[in-house]
Structures are given as C-alpha cells and as structure tokens.
C-alpha cells in the first residue's frame, strides 16, 4: 500500500482534539472520514502529535496508507474537497517510504503560543489567542525562559494525567518576541524540542505570564522547576493561542 505524508492546518475550536473519539468530533476523525470517501476501510492514520481540545495546528504531520497509487496533488485536492466545511486543510502531500512514521520518525516538534495583552477582548481572533487584560514586560519573561532551556525534570510543568514514561525532557529553544499593536501587544512564544510532556507548553507559558505581569520573578521560575512538584507551577494557560507550528524529520518529506 502506498504511504503518504500529509501536512495539516486546522482550527482546534470545534474539536475535542486530534485523537478520534466515538461520540465527539476530532481532527483525526474528520480526515479519516474524508479518506473513506476516496477508499473505504483504510487503516487509521498516525500523527506527529495528539493536540488537545481547542489547540490549533499550522504544521501538523500525519501519514496514511492508500490502496491506489494517487498522485500527491490529486490526493490533497480530493481530501480538501471532502473535508469541507470543517476548518481543516491539507497544505501539502507527498508519497513516502513505508518506513516513514509521522510520530516515530520525527526528530523535533515546534510550538507557537500567541498571547494578546490588551484590555479589549479580541473579535477577529477570538479563540485563537490568549487574551490577558494587563500589560506584560518582555525582558523578565525572556530572562526566566533561560532557566528552562536544556535537559531537566519537568515534573512541575507536566499535567497530572500525563502518560509519558519519564518527566525528563530537553527543551532546545524557547524564544519570546513582542509585536506592538495600536491597542496592546502580542507576545509570541516559540518552543522547540524532540517531544513535549502533556500540557508542558501551556504550563510554561502560564508561568512566564506571571513573570511578565510582575507577580513572579525570573528566579521564581528556576525555583519552581527545581521543585519537581506540580503544585509549584503557575497557572496553566488556556488552549487558545497554542499552535503545533511544525514537525522536523531527518529528511523533509515535503522538500520535493
């Protein structure tokens, strides 16, 4: 069976998350339903990451096995046709070796978190940014983030229901930028690692927001990390504003 890699974009608000559920709408379920319109009874698709309820994606990657040898651009067009009107789009499609696995072949995941700091709520981007109604300071958050770089026990920033075998992860990069808007500011948190714990990104961003507001110092983040205690974490940010921005592989399946 020919195998295809799919690069996927979606708005996570209508879905219970990526993973297929029996009674709830999911991104996986929407794509598998579209595939079933092309070829019934196909195997389940696999994804690089299982995003949670309300989390978005700009560069999710999944793989699927087909019976027919589809030209990739035709498979992409057919899937996008059958996905309507769901807020899911196949951005790219490539035929890959059958050893390629969207999850297990991945070498890194990249997440973006968008935080809008302004008193007025968002209208056009409601549900796509986290809106806090007070000012934040960029430099203290950037300073605090440096304490999280590298290999650590991230128990403090791990959801209690996380099923990962170990809380030890390596955070390769965390960059925070700020764009000044006519009314307020948008802060963008970009994080990169081979893999993340459940709620790790949202826990980190929620904690750094406390630093930006002045409620915590950068050193408080170091203390929280070293505590290896979930109770030491700051508030967990909502899923609004979190995006799976991209997935890295030893060889880019979409390069050609």
Which residues belong to the active site? Answer: 52
Pairing relationship of beta strands 242-248 and 56-65 according to DSSP bridges: parallel
Beta-carbon contacts of residue 66 (< 8 Å; ≥ 6 apart) = 1, 2, 3, 4, 35, 38, 39, 42, 75
Give me the DSSP letters along 91-151: EEEEEE-TT--TTTT--EEEEEEEEEE-SSPPSTTTTTSEEESS---HHHHHHHHHTT-EE
Among candidates 66, 68, 62, 20, which has minimal Cα distance to 45? 62
């Amino acid at each position: 069976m020919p195998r295809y890699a799919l690069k996927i974009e979606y708005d996570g608000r209508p879905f219970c998350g990526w993973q297929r559920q029996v009674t709830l709408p999911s991104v996986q379920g929407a794509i598998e339903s579209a595939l079933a319109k092309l070829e019934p009874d196909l195997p389940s698709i696999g994804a690089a990451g299982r995003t949670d309820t309300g989390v978005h994606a700009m560069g999710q990657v999944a793989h699927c096995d087909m019976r027919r040898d589809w030209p990739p651009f035709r498979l992409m067009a057919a899937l996008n046709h059958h996905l309507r009107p769901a807020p899911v789009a196949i951005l790219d499609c490539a035929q890959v070796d059958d050893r390629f696995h969207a999850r297990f072949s991945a070498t890194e995941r990249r997440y973006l978190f968008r935080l809008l700091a302004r008193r007025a709520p968002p209208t056009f981007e409601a549900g796509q940014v986290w809106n806090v109604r007070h000012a934040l300071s960029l430099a203290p958050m950037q300073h605090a983030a440096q304490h999280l770089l590298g290999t650590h026990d991230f128990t403090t920033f791990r959801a209690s229901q996380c099923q990962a075998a170990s809380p030890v992860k390596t955070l390769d990069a965390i960059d925070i930028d700020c764009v000044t808007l006519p009314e307020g500011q948008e802060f963008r948190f970009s994080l990169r690692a081979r893999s993340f714990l459940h709620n790790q990104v949202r826990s980190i961003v929620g904690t750094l927001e406390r630093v930006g507001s002045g409620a915590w110092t950068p050193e408080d983040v170091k203390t929280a990390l070293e505590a290896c205690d979930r109770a030491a974490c700051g508030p967990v940010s909502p899923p609004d504003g979190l995006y799976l921005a991209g997935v890295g592989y030893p060889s880019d399946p979409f390069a050609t």
